[in-house]
Amino acid sequence: MTLPTATIMAAVTYSVFVLFGIILLLFLALVVLRIIMARREGELERKEEEIRPLIYEIISDQDTEKEAYRKIRSYISVVNRVALERVLLECARVVEGPEMELLSYLFDQLGFVDEDIENVQLAHNSKKAESAYHLGVMRAARAVPFLINALSSDNRDVVFASLNSLSRIGTPEAVRALVEHISRDGDIEMMRIAEIIPSHAEAFRPTVREWLETGSVDVRRQTFLIDLGGAMMDPLSVPLLARYMASPDDLVRTHAARALGGTGDMSASGPLMQAMSDPSPAVRVAASDALGRLRCEEAIGPLMDGLSDRAAEVQMSCAFALNKMGNDGQRALDDGIATAERQRAPSRNQGQADLRLMPGPGDAS
């Protein structure tokens, strides 16, 4: 049996209208949802604005811990709890010292630490990562065992947030767990945690030395490890970094020269002075810059030679390096510039003489 064309047309038209209606309803629902979310966010921001003056007053007037807690409980309603946590967290991100100690106490007493510890154990991954991060901002030392547990999560955001927080909390237990995890985890992004916490450099140095010893076939990873070696400011890593000055790769040698300067150790000056005759100008720039950072007076001679290097960027770098070396370096720089001027003058005169000897446009050949 075949349906009449008019019926088919009516059914198609009806379907199109229904589909259009559904799309319109979905669109309206999204708009309403956006409006509700924006209103909630606006409401939250308004509450934060109300809370801020009291919190700033508490932090700035350095109330005792109990007095600060009493003021918050008296003046801030329980319904403003989310806004209160946000304001306390934004303050905790920028302060340290006695102000941070007061905030840590408040986070604990007001129950925010317990809430975030619970989230780190039970919530879905994005909430878990957020709470793990908050615990670090709160410097919640008693959250350390829970953050260590969270390191076994499959979610990289949760692991990264937990590592970050362990580094912020910085108790011996937290740093030990951090170093152990990073030495097992091969991910560069995770290893960057070691770079951003110079205060824990001492705990990381043996691990970083091991990494430098082992090396990597991947140049990106290799240069990262070398940079990390420099950031640790570890005199014992100087011989390991110096080995990379023999790499056939210009980029690896450049990073190694920079890292040697970063160690701040004078024993790095030997390989760096040798690197002043490296075939790559980038390596010579990095080496001269590193010698300047080390303020190595023995390097004044090689740096003066560098003022007449064939690469202009090396000349500049040597001049900057000499300038950092106090009176001796600046005298050497003045002498070097004068010598270079004298050397250039005869060749310029010679050049002008050559030009005069060249046949002009009107001369017959």
Partner 1 sequence: MRPTPVVIIADDDAVLSALIRRKLTGLGFVVHSSDNGHHALQLIRDLGPDLAILDVMMPGVNGYQILKAMKEDASTSNIPVIILTSRNTEEDLVKSFGLGAVDFVSKPVSPSELAKKVMSQVGMRALPELNPEG
95 touches partner 1 by CB under 8 A: yes
Q: How far apart are CA 264 and CA 299, in angstroms?
A: 15
235 or 264: whose CB is closer to partner 1?
Answer: 264
58 or 110: whose CB is closer to partner 1?
Answer: 58
Q: How far apart are CA 107 and CA 169, in angstroms?
A: 14
171 or 274: whose CB is closer to partner 1?
Answer: 171
255 or 293: whose CB is closer to partner 1?
Answer: 293
Q: How far apart are CA 353 and CA 94, in angstroms?
A: 66
In the complex, minimum distance from the CB of residue 252 to partner 1, in angstroms, rounded to a whole number: 23
26 or 196: whose CB is closer to partner 1?
Answer: 196
99 touches partner 1 by CB under 8 A: yes
Rg of the chain on CA atoms, in Å: 32
Instruction: Kindly tell me the sign of the dihedral angle through the C-alpha atoms of 273, 290, 216, 175.
Output: positive
What's the burial of 98, exposed, middle or buried (CB within 10 Å: 0-12/13-18/19+)? exposed
In the complex, minimum distance from the CB of residue 123 to partner 1, in angstroms, rounded to a whole number: 27
Number of Cβ within 10 Å of residue 164's Cβ equals 22
94 or 364: whose CB is closer to partner 1?
Answer: 94
Q: How far apart are CA 143 and CA 138, in angstroms?
A: 10
5 touches partner 1 by CB under 8 A: no
In the complex, minimum distance from the CB of residue 293 to partner 1, in angstroms, rounded to a whole number: 7
Give the type of residue at 48. E
75 touches partner 1 by CB under 8 A: no
Helical residues (DSSP H) of 110-236, grouped into ranges:
112-122, 125-137, 144-150, 156-169, 172-184, 188-195, 201-214, 219-231
Q: Which residues of 70-90 are buried (b: 16+ CB within 10 A; e: fewer)?
A: ebbeeebeeebeebbbbbbbe
Task: Using CA atoms of 325, 327, 333, 336 in order, give the dihedral in degrees to the nearest 10.
Answer: -120
Site string for partner 1, 181-220 (x = CB under 8 A): -----------------x----------------------
60 touches partner 1 by CB under 8 A: yes
Among 1, 4, 74, 93, binds partner 1 (CB under 8 A): 93
> How many residues sit close enough to partner 1 to count as binding (CB under 8 A)?
21
CA angle 77, 80, 86 (to 5 degrees): 135
119 or 317: whose CB is closer to partner 1?
Answer: 317
Among 42, 98, 111, 186, binds partner 1 (CB under 8 A): 98
Among 43, 90, 189, 341, binds partner 1 (CB under 8 A): 90
99 or 114: whose CB is closer to partner 1?
Answer: 99
In the complex, minimum distance from the CB of residue 90 to partner 1, in angstroms, rounded to a whole number: 5
Which residues within the stretch 224-283 sit at the binding site for partner 1 (CB under 8 A)? 264
**Which residues contact partner 1 by CB under 8 A?**
52, 56-57, 59-62, 90-91, 93-100, 198, 264, 293, 324
